[in-house]
Amino acid sequence: MYLTSQRVTRTDGASTGVNVFLHSHVDDGPITTEGDFHKVLKEITESHPGRLIDQHVELKPGGNTVLSYLDIVAPDNAKHDEIESALLGFEGAAAQGPWPVSDRIGRVIVSFGVVFGLGGLEAGEFARLREAALTVLAR
C-alpha cells in the first residue's frame, strides 16, 4: 500500500488544497517494508506506486506545486490502527526535522517533507496531512 497526502498550490498561488491518493499492490504481489527502508520508500514512491484505489482531490492534479507531503508505505494488509499508531509515533520526528524526514515504525514506512518557506509550521502541516490520509484510508 502506498498512501500519499500532499498540500499543493496552483503555480500562480491563487489556491491551495490537500490531495490524497491511496494505491494498492495486491495485483502486483505483496510488498515488504523490510530491509533498507529508504530504498523501499524510493522504489514504491517513484517507480511502483501500485494501482490507484481511492483519492480525495481538492486541486486538480497537474501543474501544481507541492508545499508539503506525507508518504506512507505499508503492506496491503496493514490495518488503519497500525497506520495511525505509526503516524503518532512519527509525529515528533516530523515536527523536529531536518526535512525531509523518514523512518520505519513497525511495518510502516513514513516520510514527511515541507518546502523551505513553511519553516515553523511543520507540526501543523503534518497534522493536516495525517488527518486527510487517515480519512481516505478509513473509507
* Structural domain spans, the chain: 2-138
**Taking Cα atoms as reference points, which of 87, 80, 123 lies closest to residue 104?**
87
Beta bridge partners of 52: 23
Helix (H) or strand (E) holding 33: none
**Residue of higher predicted confidence among 83 and 97:** 83
Residues 31/42, Cβ–Cβ less than 8 Å: no
Q: How far apart are CA 58 and CA 80, in angstroms?
A: 23
Residue 30's pLDDT band (cuts 50, 70, 90): low
* Mean pLDDT across the chain: 90
Q: How many residues does the chain have?
A: 139
Residue 12's pLDDT band (cuts 50, 70, 90): confident
State the average pLDDT over residues 105-113.
95
pLDDT confidence of residue 137: 96
Asked if pLDDT for residue 119 goes beyond 70, the answer is no
pTM as predicted: 0.91
Helix (H) or strand (E) holding 74: none
pLDDT confidence of residue 17: 94
Cell of 120: 515553523
